Amino acid sequence: MTDRRRALTTLFTGVVVAAALGCGGEAGGDDATVAAWRKAGLEVSAMTETPAAPYGASACKAGTVSGVDVVLCSFPTDAAAKAAEEAGLGVVGQATGAALAAGSRLLVVADRRKADPTGRTIDAVTRAFRK
Amino acid sequence: MRTYIISLVVLVATFGAARADRKPSRYVGIHPIPKAQGGGVCHIQAPHIHVYAPADVKLQYRDHDGWSYFVGDPVAYGWDGPKVSYYGHHPVPVEVLIGDDHGHDEYCYLEGPHYHAWEPPSGLSLELRGGAYWYTGDFPAAYVEARPVYDPIDTVYQPIKYERPVVEVSVAPPGWYGAVVVAPAVVAPVEVRPARVQAEVRVPAPSVRVEIAVPTVQIGIGGGIYVGGSHGHKHKYKGKRGHKRGHRHDD
């Protein structure tokens, strides 16, 4: 392999990696949050797309973390994410839960099955999201 | 019969609607869970909601932008997380503890040894001595004005049996402001700044129960003398001067 070919290969690899990161979202995005939850010892289900309209978001994913429901949404701006906290609390409804913005993302977590009576899981979920 | 059934349906529908419309309560930080909801302590630090309302909200909570912040002793309710010992009244820098910039200071009105789940942030005049933090700074007018409202918080803890921190009160810092009433018509201590002389209860007997049934008199910072209400405190002192006193409030 010539030096020129090696350089082109390296450049191509870099482009592919950058594109993959771009598709995955911003740094500290959903993947990083899921990784942080797992690192905290929480059991995370698959995160699947869910309607973003209730939150006024660009896109949302939903799943469960150690028995509590979580939704991660992305917004065009930080202010939009912050403003959506109230809508998030509305979705939590009569359950114990939280709706927190961090940057342009929103976390909504709700304990609808009473799996977390003392809030330890929700505390761990919100701490990891805010880091 | 028909009327009865209709009335029953209306009643059930009304009650059901009321339950469905129950507005969740907003909390920020850890707080006790009411016994009817299972008891214990909610560990969620971030702003969050529950369907139940705070217990003893007027004494144990402060409003922070619409969110209830618990200022009491979580150990009394079974908190098993990090805990820090304090003695007497002191500021509670809510905005620092929550992590926002809304500029909100409150005050803890718990008498004697007690716990909080937070280390005092730098900048507060809290001095660690004898196993507890003592506030040696000035209390502003807001503290004095709110005292009649919040001071009865000790009555909430009187029926609760739990281990209070053991604090060596004989090493209280010179700037500490506090008061202990020994017996009817006897007032102690009176701290006069800048001399900051601190009188204390000295009980030679191994265990003496002191009943307080008179108003306490204390020197307010910047506000002259004011008279506090009688709370019927019962303090159980053990040991002698210079020894550690087991401030286990089992009354």
The dihedral of CA A89, A93, A98, A103: what is its sign?
negative
Mutation for testing the A interface, residue in B19, B21, B41, B49 having most A CBs under 10 Å:
B49
Measured CA to CA, the distance from residue B60 to residue B155 in angstroms comes to: 11
Question: What number is the ipTM of this complex?
Answer: 0.82
Three-class SS state of B106: strand
- Over residues B66-84, the mean pLDDT reads 97
What are A's interface residues with B at a Cβ cutoff of 8 A?
89, 92-98, 100, 117-120, 122-123, 126-127, 130
Residue-wise pLDDT tens digits, B143-169: 999 999 999 999 999 999 999 999 988
Measured CA to CA, the distance from residue A110 to residue A67 in angstroms comes to: 10
pLDDT for the residue numbered B97: 87
Measured CA to CA, the distance from residue A128 to residue B36 in angstroms comes to: 30
**pLDDT above 70: residue B231:** no
Closest residue of chain B to A128, computed from CA coordinates: B46
Contact status, residue A91 vs residue A107, Cβ threshold 8 Å:
no
**pLDDT above 60: residue B3:** no
Q: Which ranges of B51-152 does DSSP label H, i.e. alpha helix?
A: 57-60, 94-98, 141-150
The dihedral of CA B70, B73, B77, B82: what is its sign?
positive
Three-class SS state of A51: coil
- Over residues B90-113, the mean pLDDT reads 87
- Over residues A70-96, the mean pLDDT reads 97
Percentage of residues in chain B having pLDDT higher than 90: 52
**pLDDT above 60: residue A89:** yes
| Nearest neighbour of A126 by CB, restricted to B20, B33, B46 | B46
Q: How confident is the model at residue B238 (pLDDT cuts 50, 70, 90)?
A: very low
Measured CA to CA, the distance from residue B8 to residue B17 in angstroms comes to: 14
User: Of B86, B79, B85, B90, whose CA–CA distance to B31 is shortest?
Assistant: B79
Q: How confident is the model at residue B101 (pLDDT cuts 50, 70, 90)?
A: confident
pTM above 0.80, yes or no: no
